[in-house]
């Protein structure tokens, strides 16, 4: 009978090959979104579909099932929280998810979502929900089927979809935390609306030359700890970060010469994701726990550098003189505090990706609630525009004038990514809770940022978050780091302290 070590090594060897294959696909999709000539799109789709099939085959192989079962029954896996047990737990989770879905369903979802995305682009362009409606109906039907195939224990079907992005998270728990957050956010948004203080945002739409934006953003990304000897920054229509593997992490952004915050905070955001990828334990690459913990934890890293650091007064104490050097015309005669207030302007808006730090979470809650109703069968896809607009009117006090600025704005549903949205708001809450914990250990973070010292925070994140990869599920990780379960309170305190000062509330 083979020893635990032999079985364990075979498991890791098997997983490593699947991960290497998947990383080839990541590299090809990075290229697809940055440099691929349009004529190569069809060939690239074939390459990617071949690789996806090969990865799926490895992750569903009967041998993998045998190895997991053997290790679970007879293996000596060491301490409960240790990496060996975590690799078997995470391997099991992924294996079960992959094998529970019939191949027919996987193929159907892939085919329908790839066609649906074209229809969504068209629908959004013409602001015509009717174009997209039949596709949304098919996607919701398929995702309901997927949730049923995956199973969800004592929970609700939406749990099964959520688990793909936030392992172990439960709909009911998230709903409870969101309810607390909403209760505190709504009056804050209202108070800001009633304030007579208005940041002068027009300074952000003066001319910011593209090359100067590029060098300034690069300098800031490097200063917070993104390593350019192990990473790149390129341009793409939709900014993203992809970790190809150890020593190779790619960021992208897009430049608008008449809108400073887009590229700059976009780069800080993606660099935050990149710093996480660069902080993963290299020796764990290719094992089930070698990846980032979850989308929510990933987003906590990007949001921390973008908002908690990048939009802080202390950050601009250090960077504003450099900004004035980089953009002498645009920032001539503009005071640092006016600039700081402008990059922190809060106002209810229709478009999620352009939303400020305060109202952003309300956009997420709206989507989270609609998705649950769609998956539960309580909301017909045809009624989405009405439900969407009613929710915006209720939560944000504004009614989208059309579906392009309403329910057609996000790509997620057309791609079948239901269960993904809540991770954005979870990320904001995780970030706030971690930031409080970091401050308890490191002391006055603002004093450090004002001197341009970002290394202590980056190293703290390396040690407490990054190096563990998926060793702990997100709920366990956050408790370990902060000593408490996820709560909306740290985010609310952060937002209140910051915006009560900016808006003199």
Catalytic residues: 270
> Do 422 and 166 form a contact (C-beta atoms < 8 A)?
yes
Measured from the CB atom, is 146 or 306 closer to Zn ion?
306
Q: How far is the CB of 302 from Zn ion (least distance, A)?
A: 4
Q: Which position's Cβ is nearest Zn ion?
A: 302
Q: How far is the CB of 418 from Zn ion (least distance, A)?
A: 18
> Do 225 and 356 form a contact (C-beta atoms < 8 A)?
no
Measured from the CB atom, is 118 or 238 closer to Zn ion?
238
Measured from the CB atom, is 51 or 241 closer to Zn ion?
241
Instruction: Give phi and psi for 231, each to the nearest 5.
Output: -165, 175
Q: How far is the CB of 335 from Zn ion (least distance, A)?
A: 31
Please tell me the distance from the alpha carbon of residue 121 to that of residue 109, in angstroms, as a whole number.
Answer: 18
Long-range contacts of 128-136 (CB under 8 A, 24+ apart): 128/403, 129/384, 129/385, 129/403, 129/407, 129/408, 132/408, 132/414, 133/381, 133/382, 135/414, 136/381, 136/384, 136/413, 136/414
Please tell me the distance from the alpha carbon of residue 488 to that of residue 177, in angstroms, as a whole number.
Answer: 6
DSSP letter, residue 309:
I
Q: How far is the CB of 301 from Zn ion (least distance, A)?
A: 9
Measured from the CB atom, is 260 or 360 closer to Zn ion?
360
Q: How far is the CB of 25 from Zn ion (least distance, A)?
A: 20
Measured from the CB atom, is 302 or 462 closer to Zn ion?
302
Measured from the CB atom, is 87 or 428 closer to Zn ion?
428
Measured from the CB atom, is 157 or 167 closer to Zn ion?
167
Q: How far is the CB of 29 from Zn ion (least distance, A)?
A: 16
CA trace torsion 402, 403, 406, 410 (10° rounding): -150
Q: How far is the CB of 214 from Zn ion (least distance, A)?
A: 20
Return the structure tokens found at 478. 């956050």
Please tell me the distance from the alpha carbon of residue 415 to that of residue 404, in angstroms, as a whole number.
Answer: 17
Strand-by-strand arrangement of the 241-245 sheet: 231-235, 248-253, 241-245
Q: What is the DSSP secondary-structure string of 353-383?
A: GG--TTTHHHHHHHHHHHHHHHHHTSS-GGG
> Do 29 and 49 form a contact (C-beta atoms < 8 A)?
no
Give 312-343 as a 3 state SS string. CHHHHHHHHHHHHHHCCCCCCCCCHHHHHHHC
Residue ranges binding Zn ion (CB under 5 A): 302
Q: How far is the CB of 385 from Zn ion (least distance, A)?
A: 27
Measured from the CB atom, is 12 or 304 closer to Zn ion?
304
Longest C-alpha distance within the chain, in Å? 77
HSE, CB side, 13 Å, CA atoms: give it for residue 310. Answer: 29
């Amino acid at each position: 009978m083979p020893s635990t070590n032999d079985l364990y090594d075979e498991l890791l060897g098997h997983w490593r090959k699947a991960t290497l294959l998947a990383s080839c696909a990541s590299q090809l999709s990075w290229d697809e979104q940055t440099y691929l000539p349009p004529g190569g799109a069809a060939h690239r789709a074939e390459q990617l579909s071949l690789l996806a099939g090969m990865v799926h085959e490895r992750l569903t192989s009967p041998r993998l099932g045998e190895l997991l079962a053997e290790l679970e029954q007879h293996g000596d896996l060491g301490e409960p929280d240790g990496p060996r047990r975590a690799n078997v737990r995470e391997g099991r989770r992924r294996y079960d998810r992959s094998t529970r879905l019939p191949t027919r369903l996987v193929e159907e979802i892939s085919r329908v979502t790839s066609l649906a995305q074209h229809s969504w682009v068209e629908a959004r362009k013409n602001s015509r929900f009717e174009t997209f409606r039949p596709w949304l109906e098919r996607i919701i039907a398929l995702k309901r089927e997927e949730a049923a195939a995956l199973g969800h224990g004592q929970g609700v079907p939406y749990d099964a979809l959520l688990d793909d992005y936030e392992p172990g998270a439960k709909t009911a728990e998230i709903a409870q935390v969101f309810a607390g957050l909403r209760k505190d956010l709504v009056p804050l948004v209202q108070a800001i609306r009633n304030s007579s203080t208005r940041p002068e945002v027009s300074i952000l739409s003066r001319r910011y030359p593209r090359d100067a934006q590029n060098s300034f953003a690069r300098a800031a990304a490097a200063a917070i700890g993104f390593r350019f000897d192990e990473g790149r920054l390129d341009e793409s229509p939709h900014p993203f970060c992809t970790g190809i593997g150890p020593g190779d992490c790619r960021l992208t952004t897009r430049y608008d010469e008449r809108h400073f915050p887009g590229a700059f905070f976009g780069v800080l955001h993606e660099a935050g994701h990149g710093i996480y990828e660069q902080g993963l334990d290299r020796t764990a690459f290719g094992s089930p726990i070698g990846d980032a913990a979850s989308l929510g934890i990933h987003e906590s890293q990007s949001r921390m550098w973008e908002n908690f650091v990048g939009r802080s007064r202390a950050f601009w104490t250090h960077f504003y003189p450099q900004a004035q050097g980089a953009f002498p015309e645009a920032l001539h005669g503009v005071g640092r505090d006016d600039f700081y207030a402008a990059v922190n302007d809060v106002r209810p808006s229709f478009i999620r990706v352009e939303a400020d730090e305060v109202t952003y979470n309300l956009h997420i809650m709206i989507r989270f609630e609609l998705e649950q109703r769609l998956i539960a069968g309580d909301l017909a896809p045809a009624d989405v525009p009405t439900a969407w607009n009613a929710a915006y009117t209720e939560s944000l006090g504004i009614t989208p004038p059309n579906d392009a600025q309403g329910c057609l704005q996000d790509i997620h549903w057309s791609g079948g990514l239901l269960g993904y949205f809540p991770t954005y708001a979870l990320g904001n809450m995780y970030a706030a809770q971690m930031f409080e914990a970091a401050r308890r250990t490191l002391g006055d973070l603002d004093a450090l940022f004002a001197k341009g010292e970002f290394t202590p925070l980056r190293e703290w994140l390396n040690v407490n978050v990054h190096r563990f990869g998926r060793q702990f599920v997100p709920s366990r990780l956050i408790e370990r780091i902060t000593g408490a379960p996820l709560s909306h309170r740290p985010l609310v305190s952060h937002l209140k302290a910051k915006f009560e000062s900016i808006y003199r509330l």
